[in-house]
Structure 1
Amino acid sequence: MRNRLVAGALCGTLAVAGFTGCGIPERSEVRVDGRRQPATESGAVNAWRKEPPPRSMSGTDPEEFVRNFLSAAAGEPDRAYYRVKQFIAQEDDHRLQEKQGSEVELTVVRLVDKPVITPDIDSTRVTIAVQQVGVLRTDGKLAPPVSTDTRYEFGLRSASPAGSVDDGAGFYVIDPPNVLLLSDVALRDYYESQTIYFWNSERTRLVPDLRYLPLTVPNERRLNEVVKWLVGGPSDWLRPGVVGLPDRTELINNATGGNGRWEVNLDMSGDDRTRADQLLTQIAWSLPEFDGQLELKVRNNSVLTEDLGERRSARALYQGLDAPVRYCVYEGSIHPLGIAGESPGAVPLDPGANRNVVSAGFTRADKQVFAALVTASAGRQRLSVGTGPAPVTTFTKGPEHTAIGRPVWLRATDPHQPQGLVVADGRLYRFDQNARMSQIVLNLPPGSVTAVAASLDGRRIALIAGGALYVAALNLDGGTVAVGPPRRVATSLTSLSAVDWGDEERLIVAGAAGRPAIYEISVDGALQTPLKDDTGARVTHLTAFPTNPATKLPSGAFMYEANNVSYRSSPVERIQREQVLDVTPPPTGVRPGSPSAPFFLF
């Protein structure tokens, strides 16, 4: 399911869907869902619009009042200060310095503990310990945090008149912080995550960009908001890997529509027909619930009119994306996994090359298989790369290293010159079909790189470096992989050990939350959900088949290895030796090995 908010860490443990041959997801998730409804006629409003509670709603409960105060800024930004000041005592509202227009920003924080509420003589003192998550701007972007504050303090006083008996009038905030605070729980509850799309630098594939839309925005304005976001350009961290609309593009009046017909009028330079055609594809996928005719005008002149649903059908987001097949490493060789309800695949390698394997990464394009194997010999590891029709017979070996992580292919590269990424001895490397490895220098604080994962669009990566989680955009101009400035992703997990992409805008991350755990985390760090709250041991290997609009089979499945035991999701259960196919049983009295380093081919 696209474009929905995942529940926060306090919402409990859930299971992520796998996939079965019958195509029915085995979901048992706990989700807080900003679920989209069909676009309505002009003049209607969302039946599911949701506003934060007013000041008086909490009555005399100070804990509920603090929660509501941390939700008050949610909603359309032009009234954010007004809503927050309803919670602040009149004598102290000057302490909150008001900003206007695009300067309005909400400081999104994650509470790391319960608020400390301490009664005082004439008031109550409140201390909240927080993790800074980001800054929510008026264009729906959640930018990296600006503040480094780890706690905020303010007071509460009774809203009842002096000398009167408390009549449940509630509280006012005194000595307020000089920022508009918004908890990550409020972001989840009062906004809908909205994925919009920009073209990669070659204009061959769309790349997702995550935004947040208040649930109070009526449906007839949704098109207008999305077009304004597209005109405004991509998020800063994504900018090195994508292109926006031509410079000085502006929206003329508001985008309008209803009854299955929509209109967008732009002042836009360049080739009107080509740009309009590309923009229509962006709009169609950025608003997947919208159907009907969309007319694009440039300076009041009609350039292109097309049905949005037909455009999505004609311009798939991820072409050539096949149903996944599971594999694992067993006794130094790659074998298919036999999971009930799924169709196992053949190993696309010549048996002579399928030896001494530690881990592997496969992908396919244009009837070609791209295989990257990490093999071990004499205490050293090396990357071996082979491409061609299955079974791949010829492999080229790269240089030796002490330790090499799971290799990943970049799906957006030229299928005739495929490239991938791999971590070796604490450094990130690019590799090609000839196993040439070139180190990629990252603009990060000193520290080892321990994991890397690539998104389906092939223009974004997630990595763990120096113990922290990052995302970054890739630029492939000239055929060379260049990594843009990484953005740190806030998470309450510690001791991070593995990462992969769970869908277009969320990551599956292994770390610790008191105990070893696996979380689902949005690419901006705002929203996180525990998928497995106790893996029993540190996760050393993690792989996922990402949810996406192109594959009809349910997805979101992941597999991992901890303490030399492999597991799969939905539900999370151990991968048994009997599920490893094409294996000769060991002689009597010889203990069979264990499946390791599971992965998907898709």
Structure 2
Amino acid sequence: MRRWGGVSGRRPALAGALCAVLFAVGAAGCGIPENSEVRVVGSGPAAEAGASSFRREEPPTRTASGTDPRLFVDNFLAAAAGEPERAHARVRLFIAPENQSRLHEKPGNEIAINVVRVTKRPVITEDRNGLFSVRLPVQQVGQLRANGVLGPPVATEPEYGFSLRNGGGEGAEGGGLYVTDPPNVLLLSTDALQRYYQTRNVYFWNSNQTRLVADQRYLPLAVPSERLVSEVVKWLIGGPSEWLSQGVSRLPERTNLINNAIETDERWEVALDLPGDDKRKLEKVATQLAWSLPELNDGLQLTTRNQSRVRIDDLKKHRLANPLYPLTEGPQPFTVYDGAIHPLSFPGQVSGAVPVGSAANRGVVSATVRRADEQLLAAVVATVPGGRQRLKVGAGADPVPALHDGAKTFGAIGRPVWLRSLESGQPYGLVVADGQLHRFDDRARLVPVPPLGITGKVTAVAASLDGHRIALIVGGTLYLAALNLDGGMVSLGPAREVRTSLTDLSAVDWAAENALVVAAGTADRSAVYEVSIDGTLQTELVPDVGARVTHLAAYPTNLVYALPSALIMYEANGVAYRYPSTDKIRGDQVLEVTPPPAGGRPGSPTAPFFLF
């Protein structure tokens, strides 16, 4: 019986399985790194249930590089990959016996691996005695823990130095190279992380148990497939990543897995010690597992110590009946043209009617409109006399007939975003106004929401499909934060920096559950990238926009309403573009436009967005 259909999470890519090649960009100092693991890609199919690249792979051994010092360094930076309890033993094999005591071993549940991005080609020099000296410039990206969480970095070193000696010729006892003065920490390159681990999601309920929120983990490809279910259950029991804990709820305290999950001919069986023995809680856990194990399409049975039981005979049907997101229709593209919202016409995409009434569709600078049950939520940034801007917000049938004016005007307001909470009676959104983050409601009431733990000018905000994770650009740097929407309030958890090699970021949106699309660079040179939410992977989508990107909108790829390729639109220097074609959005692609008077010049499409 085939059980593992699968969703590949190994490389989070906007268009799913893309053809990628390494690309070194020579534009230092303008937001595009001189030497980083940027990949150039084209469009391709989106990842969806039923396709998997999950495989077993161990990192190379010490002798696999022979006497090639550069290959040896690459392999040394991969040695810690794999099952965490063996990480020290694998790395110790690369170290000369007389120096192995320098690597301090910790208990299995305390093992932490320092994930680093190699920022420049390692400098390797050889002396007259045949010894090699290595200088390894790095960026500290994060600390990978035994539970698969990549947390913030603890180490601060911008460079590591060590030496290599030859243990003998090829085929000799102890032959090959050894590290003689190793770093006293476990190191893992971002390239090795992508090669020897699978990126996975585990899902936690929000505080009112109405929405599942993705939490990214790394599973070593060396872990046997029959242990996967048990590993995922243990992750759920262990709780969410620290940065996400503000926006989600944990399983009841003292929940434990009784033995390992068992595979029978018909289903996987999981036995839990669940305090309270509440069947409703057990049903909630079953739905968490159904989405956290998308490979599983047959059955699942959960039992407790007191014999409460939840049985799902068809997990695929269960996921369809309990979707992650309330998406029932595809995205519709819109733009601002001559101060009004207009639909766009692209081949293969559905166009919709103007989503706001004519009285409200004037003086528009930017807008966001989303579906919410049987109505639309609209947020519009409009000009007011004196060159200032005001946020206008409304809710209602399609089109939204009227908008409420905000009480305050600002010098500049960014693109507003709606939070996709299931609490339809409490719609909230976020917007950046004059460098500060604000919460707004459907009456255009604005309340400042300062990001916790960081200071600086906020320039952009974007919200994930689950409505409980946001991305921020503050002072040109990318951050993540979790949101809690309890009790009619919006509270923000501590912000976590996403360590990329990009600088001077200007725009951001969500590209997938665990990926962002960002713009980086100056007015002279700007580019659009896909970036994983932990910064480990950077994929260059548009290598040279030619001007600073000031506006960016994406339809995130997802497992509920999947599309064959990424949908991205952006604006630079007053000109709107769309990806993957990278073509300018032309005036003749704008619908419902009244022709300009004789001698008049048509406007240019700006501030594009998707309605979904």
Tell me if both proteins adopt one fold, taking TM over 0.5 as the criterion.
yes
Is the CA contact 2:557–2:563 (under 8 Å) kept in the aligned structure 1?
no
Counterparts of 1:583 and 1:493 in 2: how far apart (Å)? 39
Is the CA contact 1:548–1:555 (under 8 Å) kept in the aligned structure 2?
no
Partner residue in 2 for 1:454? 463
2:325 pairs, out of 314, 318, 327, with: 318
Letter in 2 for 1:540: T
Residues 184-230 of structure 1: CA distance to partner in whole angstroms, max 9, x if unpaired? Answer: 00000000001110000010010000000001111110000000000
How far the C-alpha of 1:586 sits from its partner, in A, is 2.4
Counterparts of 1:454 and 1:260 in 2: how far apart (Å)? 39
Residues 104-129 of structure 1: CA distance to partner in whole angstroms, max 9, x if unpaired? Answer: 11100001111011112431111111
Partner residue in 2 for 1:482? 491
Q: Are residue 95 (structure 1) and residue 111 (structure 2) matched?
A: no
Distance 1:188 1:555, change over 3 A: same
Partner residue in 1 for 2:540? 530
Counterparts of 1:467 and 1:12 in 2: how far apart (Å)? 21
Q: Identity, % of aligned pairs?
A: 55
Distance 1:326 1:598, change over 3 A: same
Residues 390-414 of structure 1: CA distance to partner in whole angstroms, max 9, x if unpaired? Answer: 1212211111000000000011152
SS in 2 for 1:363: strand
Q: TM-score, normalised by structure 2?
A: 0.91
Counterparts of 2:208 and 2:171 in 1: how far apart (Å)? 70
1:283 pairs, out of 268, 282, 289, with: 289
Is the CA contact 2:469–2:481 (under 8 Å) kept in the aligned structure 1?
yes
Q: Are residue 547 (structure 1) and residue 560 (structure 2) matched?
A: no
How far the C-alpha of 1:63 sits from its partner, in A, is 1.0
SS in 2 for 1:12: strand
Q: Unaligned regions of 5+ residues in structure 2, if any?
A: 1-6, 13-19, 23-35
Could you tell which deviates more after superposition, 308-317 or 182-191? 308-317
Q: Are residue 13 (structure 1) and residue 40 (structure 2) matched?
A: yes
Runs of 4+ aligned structure 1 residues displaced above 6 Å come to: 164-168
Q: Are residue 571 (structure 1) and residue 581 (structure 2) matched?
A: yes
Q: Are residue 363 (structure 1) and residue 393 (structure 2) matched?
A: no
Counterparts of 1:2 and 1:542 in 2: how far apart (Å)? 27
Counterparts of 1:321 and 1:428 in 2: how far apart (Å)? 30
How far the C-alpha of 1:439 sits from its partner, in A, is 0.2
Residues 528-550 of structure 1: CA distance to partner in whole angstroms, max 9, x if unpaired? Answer: 21111211111100010000111
How far the C-alpha of 1:302 sits from its partner, in A, is 4.5
How far the C-alpha of 1:166 sits from its partner, in A, is 9.7
Is the CA contact 2:356–2:402 (under 8 Å) kept in the aligned structure 1?
no
Aligned residues: 578
Counterparts of 2:171 and 2:533 in 1: how far apart (Å)? 49
1:133 pairs, out of 114, 119, 141, with: 141
Letter in 1 for 2:160: Y
Letter in 2 for 1:241: G
Distance 1:115 1:35, change over 3 A: farther
Counterparts of 2:191 and 2:387 in 1: how far apart (Å)? 48
Counterparts of 2:259 and 2:171 in 1: how far apart (Å)? 54
Is the CA contact 1:260–1:291 (under 8 Å) kept in the aligned structure 2?
no
Counterparts of 2:371 and 2:134 in 1: how far apart (Å)? 56
Counterparts of 2:375 and 2:282 in 1: how far apart (Å)? 34
Q: Are residue 496 (structure 1) and residue 523 (structure 2) matched?
A: no
Q: Are residue 509 (structure 1) and residue 514 (structure 2) matched?
A: no
Q: Unaligned regions of 5+ residues in structure 1, if any?
A: 18-24, 38-45
How far the C-alpha of 1:301 sits from its partner, in A, is 1.8
Letter in 2 for 1:4: R
SS in 1 for 2:182: coil
Residues 315-345 of structure 1: CA distance to partner in whole angstroms, max 9, x if unpaired? Answer: 1111244210000001101100000122210
Is the CA contact 2:355–2:369 (under 8 Å) kept in the aligned structure 1?
no
Q: Are residue 597 (structure 1) and residue 604 (structure 2) matched?
A: no
Q: Are residue 403 (structure 1) and residue 402 (structure 2) matched?
A: no
How far the C-alpha of 1:165 sits from its partner, in A, is 12
Residues 255-286 of structure 1: CA distance to partner in whole angstroms, max 9, x if unpaired? Answer: 12143311111111124201110000000000
How far the C-alpha of 1:382 sits from its partner, in A, is 0.5
Distance 1:99 1:167, change over 3 A: closer
Could you tell which deviates more after superposition, 220-229 or 318-327? 318-327
Counterparts of 2:327 and 2:133 in 1: how far apart (Å)? 59
RMSD: 2.1
Counterparts of 1:331 and 1:593 in 2: how far apart (Å)? 5
Partner residue in 2 for 1:60? 67
How far the C-alpha of 1:467 sits from its partner, in A, is 1.8
How far the C-alpha of 1:466 sits from its partner, in A, is 2.0
Counterparts of 2:501 and 2:379 in 1: how far apart (Å)? 33
Counterparts of 1:58 and 1:309 in 2: how far apart (Å)? 45
Is the CA contact 1:463–1:470 (under 8 Å) kept in the aligned structure 2?
yes
Is the CA contact 2:8–2:51 (under 8 Å) kept in the aligned structure 1?
no
Residues 220-256 of structure 1: CA distance to partner in whole angstroms, max 9, x if unpaired? Answer: 1000000000000000010011011000111111112
Distance 1:510 1:258, change over 3 A: farther
How far the C-alpha of 1:588 sits from its partner, in A, is 4.1
Partner residue in 2 for 1:220? 226
- After TM superposition, list the pairs within 5 Å mapping 1:342-491 onto structure 2: 342-377=349-384, 378-398=386-406, 399-412=408-421, 414-491=423-500
How far the C-alpha of 1:136 sits from its partner, in A, is 0.5
SS in 1 for 2:289: helix
Distance 1:168 1:224, change over 3 A: closer
Could you tell which deviates more after superposition, 103-112 or 251-260? 251-260
Could you tell which deviates more after superposition, 150-159 or 412-421? 412-421
Counterparts of 1:57 and 1:231 in 2: how far apart (Å)? 39
2:210 pairs, out of 204, 209, 223, with: 204
1:560 pairs, out of 567, 570, 574, with: 570
Residues 485-519 of structure 1: CA distance to partner in whole angstroms, max 9, x if unpaired? Answer: 11111111110000000011111111139941111
Letter in 2 for 1:266: L
2:271 pairs, out of 256, 259, 265, with: 265
Is the CA contact 1:503–1:556 (under 8 Å) kept in the aligned structure 2?
no
Counterparts of 1:143 and 1:246 in 2: how far apart (Å)? 23
- After TM superposition, list the pairs within 5 Å mapping 1:23-102 onto structure 2: 25=45, 36=52, 48-102=55-109
Distance 1:137 1:35, change over 3 A: farther
Q: Are residue 172 (structure 1) and residue 178 (structure 2) matched?
A: yes
How far the C-alpha of 1:15 sits from its partner, in A, is 2.9
SS in 2 for 1:13: strand
Is the CA contact 1:297–1:303 (under 8 Å) kept in the aligned structure 2?
yes
Partner residue in 1 for 2:111? 104
SS in 2 for 1:461: strand
Letter in 1 for 2:550: T
Distance 1:154 1:477, change over 3 A: same
Counterparts of 2:573 and 2:99 in 1: how far apart (Å)? 56
Is the CA contact 1:272–1:298 (under 8 Å) kept in the aligned structure 2?
no
Counterparts of 1:401 and 1:426 in 2: how far apart (Å)? 10
Partner residue in 2 for 1:252? 258
Residues 412-455 of structure 1: CA distance to partner in whole angstroms, max 9, x if unpaired? Answer: 15222211000000000000111000001222333100000000
Is the CA contact 2:454–2:495 (under 8 Å) kept in the aligned structure 1?
no
Counterparts of 2:463 and 2:603 in 1: how far apart (Å)? 30
Letter in 1 for 2:448: Q
Partner residue in 1 for 2:162? 154
Counterparts of 1:549 and 1:331 in 2: how far apart (Å)? 36
Is the CA contact 1:15–1:572 (under 8 Å) kept in the aligned structure 2?
no
Counterparts of 2:154 and 2:38 in 1: how far apart (Å)? 27
Is the CA contact 1:59–1:168 (under 8 Å) kept in the aligned structure 2?
no
1:194 pairs, out of 177, 183, 200, with: 200
How far the C-alpha of 1:587 sits from its partner, in A, is 3.4
Counterparts of 1:362 and 1:246 in 2: how far apart (Å)? 37
Counterparts of 1:68 and 1:176 in 2: how far apart (Å)? 14
Q: TM-score, normalised by structure 1?
A: 0.92
